[in-house]
Structure 1
Amino acid sequence: MTDTLTSGDVALMGVPLDMHSSFLQGPAFAPGRIREALHSGAANLTAEDGTDLGSHPGFKDTGDLDVFEQFGPEAIAKIEVGAAERLATGARLLSLGGDHSVAYPLISAHADRYEGLNVLHIDSHPDLYDEQPLGKLGHGCPFARVMETGKIKRLVQVGIRTMNAHQREQADRFGVEVVDMRSWSADYTPEFDGPVYLSLDLDALDPAFAPGVSHHEPGGLSTREVIDLIARFKGQLVGADIVELNPHRDPYGMTAMVAAKFVKEIGARLLTR
C-alpha cells in the first residue's frame, strides 16, 4: 500500500509482532486497537496544534505488515524492508507496534535513509540487554542492536527507572545519555542537531495513566508530560514508533486512547515541522 505515498506524507504502519516479548504476548493486537481508538466516535482526529489528521491529505494509513506470530531474524528483516519501502517514497513513517523489538529494524531503516540519525527513546526500561533468554532480538535488546550498527549519532533515553548493572555498563559502553526519573523535570527539553527518530514505549507512563501494558513500572511520566515532550524537543522529527500496548491488560481501552492521542500529536509534528 505504498503506491499512494509521496514526499511529505506521513505513513501510518502497523507492526503486529509480539513473539519477542519476555513476559506476556498481546502487543501484536495493538495496531488494530489503536486504530479503533483513533477513529472512535468518542474523539476526533485533531491534534492540539489544530492539525486535523482526518482531513489532511498527507496522513495515510498503509496497513499492517505480515509479521503476526512470526519470530526471529526473518520477521525483523520483513519489518526493515517494509519500513524502507515506505521511506523510499519520501514519506515519513509512524509505526504502531508490537513489542519493542520492532524498534531495531525500524530505526535501522531510518538510519540508512537519514545520515547522522539521533534517537529519542521514551521508556521505563533502557532495553540495552546484550541478550535475553529468548535471544538477542528480545524486546529488551533493541537499543543494544541499534547502537551496534554504528549509525546512530546520539541515543537519549528519558523516563528510565529500571536500570540494572548490566544495562548501566551497556549505556556507558555505547555512550547513551540517560535521563532517569530521579533526575526528570517537567521543563526538560532535549536538543538535537540533525534528524530525530522517536521511540515511545507506553510503559514510560506511570501505570495510573497507561495500565494496558505488559510491564507495570510505578513512578513514571504523566500523559501530559509525554505530550509536552513530544511537542517541545528541538530537532527535525523524521519518524517514530509507539509500542508495547497490551490490549489484554487495558481496561475500557484507556491505554489505546492514550496511544491514539500520541498518534495525533506525533503525526501532526511529522506533517508540519
Structure 2
Amino acid sequence: MITLTDVMKEYSSEVAIGPVSVELQPGGITALVGPNGAGKSTILTMIGRLLDLDGGAIEVAGHDIATTPSKTIARVLSVLRQENHFVTRLTVRQLVGFGRYPHSGGRLTLGDERLISQAIDFLDLGPLEHRYLDQLSGGQRQRAYVAMVLAQDTDYLLLDEPLNNLDMQHQVSMMRQLRQAADELGKTVVLVIHDINFAAAYADRIVAMTDGRIRYQGTPEEIMREPILTEVFRTPMKVIEESGHRMAVYYRPDQG
C-alpha cells in the first residue's frame, strides 16, 4: 500500500500542493488525472522520493520514504519521470540494463540479463535492443524507458505520463502491457495520465485532482460521471456508454 498523510509541497504563497491524504491500494492500476497544474506529477514525484516534502509523510509498503535507505526504496519502487535525458551512445539493452543497478551494482549476472531480456520482450523491443537511442523515434525511446523501469523488478511502478510521444496504436499497446504487468506480474502501477478515457478503460481506480488537492477517487464507474468530469476538467463533458464502457466527450453547450 502507498499511504500519503497530510503531504504538502509549497512553491510560493500562491502555489502549493496539499495537504493530500490518500491510501493507494496494492495491486492493479491507479490513474492520477486532472488538468495541467493539478499536482499529479508532483505527488507522483514525491512518492518516488525525487522531490522533497514540505510537510506530511509518505509510506510505500510500510517504508517511510524520508528515512528508508535509497537502496531499499529502489528495490521496492521504480519511477519513470516525465522528462528523460538520454545518452545517445546507449543501446536499448544498455538502457534497460540500468534498471538492474539497485540489485547488481553495475555487475550484471545471468539472472539480471534474463530480467533485462524479459522486459525488452514485454515491450516488444527485441528488434531494437541493439539500436542506439538516438536512432529511435520518441515513442520507441519511451517504450525503452518503461522497459528499464520494468527491469528493475519492483512491486510498485510509478509512471509519469507513460503515453508521451506515442501514437494511438502504441498508446493502446502500452496500456495493455501495463494492464498485463498488473494482472500477470502482480505489479502495483500508479500512473499520471491525461486521457481520461484511457484511465477509464484500463485503470482499477481513478484519483482526480485539481488545484493541488484530491477532489474525487473511486472506480472508473464512480468517476466517469458528467458532473464530476465537468468540475475536474473545467469544461463541459458528456459521458456515453459503448459496449459496457463509459467514455467522456467534450461538447459545446450551445450545440446541445
More strand by share: 2
Q: TM-score, normalised by structure 1?
A: 0.29
Q: TM-score, normalised by structure 2?
A: 0.31
